[in-house]
A and B are shown apart, each in its own frame.
Chain A
Amino acid sequence: MSGENIFTGMVEEHDGDERWAFGTGFTEALAGVDTALPEGVDGGELAQYCQMLGDDALVQAQRLSQWVTDAPELEEEVALANIALDLIGQARLLLARAGQADGTGRDEDAFAYRREAAQFRNVRLAAAPRGDFARAIVTLLALSSWRLALMSRLSRSRDPVLAAIAAKAVNELTYHREYAVSWALRLGDGTEYSRERTAAAVAQVWPDTGELFATHPVEARLAELGVGVDPGPLRAEVHDVLVQVLTAATLDAPAAFPESVLAGRSGDHGPELAPLLQEMQEVARAHPEATW
């Protein structure tokens, strides 16, 4: 490698875009994708569906961001923040699609900052309390395993926009799950103390897992049309994954997920969501239209 800067060799062709010192050659997930609504799909319902999947990612990202400045090690802080940023990326695309689909043309910021807690459609687990590092890892393990199963199927959606977003998400989620698995193994099969705290985390997270497989009527109708994914049938697959990981981590996996009951998906949230959103929305609401 020649040149004075060690990053010279890391630079891709960037067509005169000089913003990037190194690490160029980015691709747009939605480049060249047809944004017209697929035939036979109600725009309002598609928008609701995009909000469900977008809010899952946005709220989980906000919760994960609370580890910044507070993780056990700097390296883990960056890792969790990275995962949060991946999820924010997914949320932006999904919420922007919601604004296209419902015809209001609202952008992702309008959805993120201008809705109240009751208008959010995320599953409760995404907003569940931060807890300790073990709980963060078990939550991430459950959510990423579930979302990966869901997005793998959604990548074959009849809506080309959803398919493209899901295809991009699959790679990201595969890494999120790998990260969670590697920590679950080390914490569970670590010391007596780390094992105890990880087992406690499984017990804290498990009650909220049932909702992941509850099918909202909108999900059912869009799945029927080949546009969305019914999460119900993912139950066995995701349970297999968690059993495999927890067993390898010398932890007891509960025999099954709890019964599936819609909660956050219909706007029925726990007390954690409102303060979490208040924190996220505070600056945007205090300084509307601000740019930086």
Chain B
Amino acid sequence: MSADDKPGPVRPEWPLYEVFVRGKRGLNHVHVGSLHAPDEQMALHNARNLYTRRNEGVSIWVVRAEDITASSPDEKDPFFEPSGDKVYRHPTFYPVPEDVPHI
């Protein structure tokens, strides 16, 4: 282990990735968590090891966290509240045929 003795150059911190997994019977990829990785391919490897090791998934997406544009918590009220009292926007006023799945 002699190579271990001298300290190496300081390594910059790896970027953060968000992980989305599609379960076996799931229709959509679902956000399951985040991880650090040096690049996209290693992020996929890490996601496989961290989030599908209990047989959860059949497909994985990873995306750099900094590439996600998110709504701001401060703007929560003007952003979301106006939809709170408009129940008529839900498609619950129609009869849905029984053989239409996934609704």
Contact = CB atoms under 8 A, between A and B. Distances in A.
Interface of A: 1-2, 6-7, 9-12, 20, 22-26, 72-75, 78-79, 82, 129-132, 134, 178-179, 182, 186, 191, 193, 197, 200-201
Interface in B17-70: 21-28, 30-32, 35-38, 41-42, 45-46, 49-50, 52-57
B49 A9 contact: no
A7 B9 contact: no
B14 interface: yes
B1 A129 contact: yes
A10 B26 contact: yes
* Most chain A CB neighbours (cut-off 10 Å) among B35, B38, B41, B55: B55
Contacts of A79: 45-46, 49
B78 interface: no
Contacts of B22: 9
Contacts of B46: 75, 78-79
A10 B1 contact: no
B9 A9 contact: no
Interface residues of B, number: 35
What does DSSP make chain A's interface, helix, strand, loop or mixed?
loop
Interface of B: 1, 3-4, 8-9, 11, 14, 21-28, 30-32, 35-38, 41-42, 45-46, 49-50, 52-57, 102
B44 to A, nearest CB: 10
Contacts of B54: 20, 22-23
Nearest to B1: A131
B56 A10 contact: yes
B29 to A, nearest CB: 10
A24 B56 CA distance: 7
Contacts of B38: 186
Contacts of B4: 131-132
Contact of A11 (B8, B25, B49): B25
21 contacts: A1-B27, A2-B102, A6-B31, A7-B56, A9-B30, A10-B25, A10-B57, A11-B23, A11-B25, A12-B25, A22-B56, A23-B54, A25-B24, A74-B36, A75-B37, A78-B53, A79-B45, A134-B3, A178-B45, A179-B45, A193-B8
Contacts, number: 84
B50 to A, nearest CB: 6
A130 B4 CA distance: 11
B49 A78 contact: yes
A57 B28 CA distance: 37
A48 B31 CA distance: 48
A186 B52 CA distance: 24
A72 B8 CA distance: 12
Contacts of A182: 41-42, 45
B53 A82 contact: yes
Nearest to A191: B9
B64 to A, nearest CB: 15
A200 to B, nearest CB: 5
A10 B3 contact: no
Given A9-B30, A23-B52, 12 more contacts: A1-B23, A1-B27, A10-B23, A10-B24, A10-B26, A22-B54, A75-B37, A75-B49, A78-B50, A82-B49, A82-B53, A193-B9
B75 to A, nearest CB: 25
A193 B10 CA distance: 11
A26 B45 CA distance: 21
